[in-house]
Amino acid sequence: MKARVLSGVQPSGNLHIGNYLGALKNWAEIQGQYESIFCIVDLHAITIYQQPAELAAKIRETAALFIASGIDPEQSSIIVQSSVSGHAELSWLLTCVTPLGWLYRMTQFKTKSEKQETIGAGLLQYPVLMTADILLYQAALVPVGDDQSQHLELARDIAQRFNSLYGETFVMPATSLPSVGARIMGLDDPTQKMSKSAPGTGHAIGLLDDPKVIAKKIGRATTDSSPAVDLENISPGIANLLAIGEACDPTFRKETAASMRYGDFKKRVTEAVISRLEPIQKKYREVIADPGYLEGVLADGRQRVLPIAEETVRKTKAAMGLYV
Ligand code: TYM
């Protein structure tokens, strides 16, 4: 039997090249080796207010981007988190074994809560729900970008705590990071992680950005005062563009002459990004134009994973002495 993989993306904001290089690309590459489940985590998205009609559209858009990025719905199950009630149910069971202090320590909670006027309880609970996503399917491997590493350590801590309180119930999930592209930084500020919610049009390369827009954004990306690439002495802006170029095109680093002038270097990065994104955008347009097909993929995914989810919830409740 193949080991199971689970990962997810929030359907909030616009997916960017960091989401692709840190997660989706890796998913497409490894899906054949595992029993893969990829999840559109809408219950996570609502930890911050989402306009309902926009959220509904984003869920479909995200599913279409999964397929466009190479996730094959025949090989992998693509599911919407809220369509499988076990996510929310297991999340409550795990909440009851999670010390509050563990949640207050999460860096993402600290950063996100600083930006909110009112901090919803869901924002604090966020990593417990994420743990439930993983443990619900007894996933052995979780392919993510580097920003999720702390959440995954917490997932292992919660699983361990549950197992030691109630007996072996959950598989311990390992983190899988891509070798290049695990942490793509903002083009406007290479000291900040590229993020869906950051303001400014020069920050992120959207997966659906027009090639002209991509060229403009990369052209304006923050670098430093040197005229040309010096591989011995790389500033954060250049390191980020190198990572983007290399993750989009494996021959990129070799071809990039050490002394390439920044203008030419940025053109090379732009070419690498556009040739990577163009087929994805083309496939996206085909998939999103066929809502019946998309609905079918999501319904199929749900049917495939439902028995696994139901079994884990039953097993967890039984271990805790709840009524089953
Ligand atoms: P989300 O929606 O913020 O991001 C989706 C995936 O993209 C990766 N990522 C990045 N990788 C490289 N550079 C970046 N700048 C960058 N920004 C984002 C993220 O690491 C992630 O892999 N909590 C998760 C979603 C989630 C999940 C899960 C993940 C919910 N349940 C269970 C794994 C397993 C999140 O908000 O991802």
Rg of the Cα atoms in the chain: 20
In ligand 1, which atom is closest to the CA atom of 19?
7
DSSP per position, 19-37: HIIIIIHHHHHHGGGSEEE
Mean pLDDT, range 91-113, rounded to an integer: 96
106 lines ligand 1 (CB under 6 A): no
Residue 199: is its pLDDT beyond 80?
Answer: no
- pLDDT for res 117: 87
Hey, whose CA ends up nearest to atom 6 of ligand 1? 19
Ligand 1 centroid distance, CA of 10 (Å)? 7
23 lines ligand 1 (CB under 6 A): yes
Ligand 1 centroid distance, CA of 256 (Å)? 29
Mean pLDDT, range 196-221, rounded to an integer: 93
Domain boundaries, the chain: 4-181+290-320, 211-285
- pLDDT for res 192: 95
CATH of 4-181+290-320, one of 3.40.50.620, 1.10.10.10, 3.40.1390.10, 3.40.50.1820: 3.40.50.620
Mean pLDDT, range 217-243, rounded to an integer: 93
184 lines ligand 1 (CB under 6 A): yes
Ligand 1 centroid distance, CA of 18 (Å)? 9
CA–CA distances in Å: residue 96 to residues 44, 71, 90, 155 = 19, 35, 10, 14
pLDDT tens digit string along 285-313?
Answer: 999 999 999 999 999 999 999 999 999 99
pTM over 0.85: yes
41 lines ligand 1 (CB under 6 A): yes
Q: Please provide the size of the chain in residues.
A: 324
Mean pLDDT, range 109-124, rounded to an integer: 91
148 lines ligand 1 (CB under 6 A): yes
- pLDDT for res 44: 98
- pLDDT for res 323: 97
243 lines ligand 1 (CB under 6 A): no
Q: Which of 134, 11, 146, 141 is nearest to 65 (CA)?
A: 11
- pLDDT for res 198: 77
Split at pLDDT 50, 70, 90, the class of 200 is confident
Specify the residue for token string 């990369």. 218
CA–CA distances in Å: residue 79 to residues 64, 180, 262, 267, 305 = 12, 27, 42, 38, 8
- pLDDT for res 255: 78
Mean pLDDT, range 135-153, rounded to an integer: 98
Measured CA to CA, the distance from residue 185 to residue 110 in angstroms comes to 19
Mean pLDDT, range 221-237, rounded to an integer: 91
Mean pLDDT, range 227-256, rounded to an integer: 91
- Pocket residue to mutate for ligand 1, from 109, 148, 184, 189, most atoms within 8 A of Cβ: 148
pLDDT tens digit string along 266-278?
Answer: 999 999 999 999 9
For the annotated catalytic residues, the residue numbers are 112, 193, 196
- pLDDT for res 290: 97
Residue 54: is its pLDDT beyond 80?
Answer: yes
- pLDDT for res 259: 82
- pLDDT for res 231: 84
- Are 119 and 295 in contact by the 8 Å Cβ rule? The answer is no
139 lines ligand 1 (CB under 6 A): no
193 lines ligand 1 (CB under 6 A): yes
Residue 258: is its pLDDT beyond 80?
Answer: no
Mean pLDDT, range 75-104, rounded to an integer: 98
Ligand 1 centroid distance, CA of 152 (Å)? 11
- Are 117 and 153 in contact by the 8 Å Cβ rule? The answer is no
- Are 44 and 8 in contact by the 8 Å Cβ rule? The answer is yes
User: Cα 93–108–177 angle (5° rounding)?
Assistant: 90
- Pocket residue to mutate for ligand 1, from 19, 40, 48, most atoms within 8 A of Cβ: 19
Percentage of residues of the chain with pLDDT beyond 70: 100
What's the topology of domain 211-285?
Tyrosyl-Transfer RNA Synthetase (1.10.240)
Q: Looking at this protein, which amino acid is placed at residue 153?
A: E
